[in-house]
Amino acid sequence: MNVLEWDQILIGTSAKPTSINITKEMILNYNESIEDNAATGKGDSLHAPAGMFFIYAPARRLDVMHENGFISPEEAEQNSRSTPFVGTDIEWKGTPIKENDTITSTAFFEKKWESSSGNRFLSIGVEAKNQNNEPVINYRYNVMWEFSKGQKSRSPGTAQTISANIGTETNNFDINNISEGDIIPQLQRAISQETINKYHELNNWSNKEPSPTALLHVDEAFAEATVFSGTTLSGPTAVGFMLHLVEKTFGKNAIINSTFNERALEPVRPGDIITYSGKVLAINNTEKEKRLDLEVRGTNQLGQTTSLASVNLPL
């Protein structure tokens, strides 16, 4: 098969639907992969964590390509390159997602565009329903289709020039007395290659070799030749950390009735320490409910914003 080229990307092209049964082991593995140490397997049926949609309703861009007669740029025999994650747009549909649910999802090419600087982007859309045919989530998985090498490299040793100790703020945040400008409790993650690998290993429920699209994160030789000049934390892992912060603060019901729009701004590398924080931007009251607009960001030890998300959720 030939490598899919930009001009050959047809919006609406899709892969066959796939169905995944959510098991307790999958949920516990996912929790471990995002370092949620509070999660246990005790009690009633477990609810799927907020960021787990990447696992039970995957953005199967390789399947979209393969089923339509193409391979990805990562799979090219010569001049292979990565098409890295640059963001996601998520809309939950209000239905709880839990252990023993079977999620059927369809992945398709939803949108492609070119920036003023000439960078090219592709959105893979995913629509998912449960075994009762109830919609549970729609989202876009956005990738950089073409990007010049070296634009996102970091000079060797840069990460060591600033203290790796970032304090986590403590404040008097009260969810029952919330105001605009409030800062929610922070979440901090120390990133290592083990952290990066663990996400892929624990969530590899099909026991396959790493996907070509995962090589940027787990294969140092491949990653060295990419735009990032080294391995990086995957976008879904970072989104998982951000959503864990939101879910821990506001609860599962808020998550499944929310929207979440995130952009990856700087690569996260082994050795980085990322602090995830959130700020209440606005509170909107209607006759039916109270909703808030929340900004969530990841910040590395250099003070760089690595990811930024806008969230709208009910209180």
DSSP 314: E
The CA-based diameter of the chain, rounded to the nearest angstrom, is: 59
pLDDT digits (tens, 9 = 90+) for 213-234: 777 887 888 888 777 889 999 9
Task: Name the phi and psi angles at 50, rounded to 5.
Answer: -55, -45
- Please tell me the predicted confidence (pLDDT) of residue 208: 63
What are the CB-based long-range contacts (under 8 Å, 24+) for 150-154? Answer: 150/227, 150/229, 151/227, 152/227, 152/228, 152/229, 152/266, 152/267, 153/227, 153/228, 153/229, 153/230, 154/229, 154/267, 154/269
In percent, the amount of the chain with pLDDT more than 90 equals 72
Residue keyed to tokens 């989202």: 139
Determine contact, residues 39/120, Cβ cutoff 8 Å.
Answer: no
pLDDT digits (tens, 9 = 90+) for 44-86: 679 999 999 999 999 999 999 999 999 999 999 998 888 999 9
pLDDT reading at 178 higher than 80: yes
- Please tell me the predicted confidence (pLDDT) of residue 170: 47
Task: Name the phi and psi angles at 218, rounded to 5.
Answer: -115, -10
- Please tell me the predicted confidence (pLDDT) of residue 150: 47
Core vs surface per residue 50-75: b (16+ CB within 10 A) or e: bbbbbbbbbbbbbebbbeeebbbbbb
The pair of structure tokens assigned to 118 is 């000439």
Residue, of 148 and 67, whose pLDDT is higher: 67
pLDDT reading at 152 higher than 70: no
Mean pLDDT of 186-202: 94
Residue, of 115 and 204, whose pLDDT is higher: 115
pTM summary value: 0.89
User: Which helix (H) or strand (E) covers residue 21, if one does?
Assistant: strand 18-21
What are the residue ranges spanned by the domains of the chain? Answer: 2-314
| CATH superfamily, domain at 2-314 | Hotdog Thioesterase (3.10.129.10)
Strands of 100-252, DSSP E: 102-114, 120-129, 135-146, 183-190
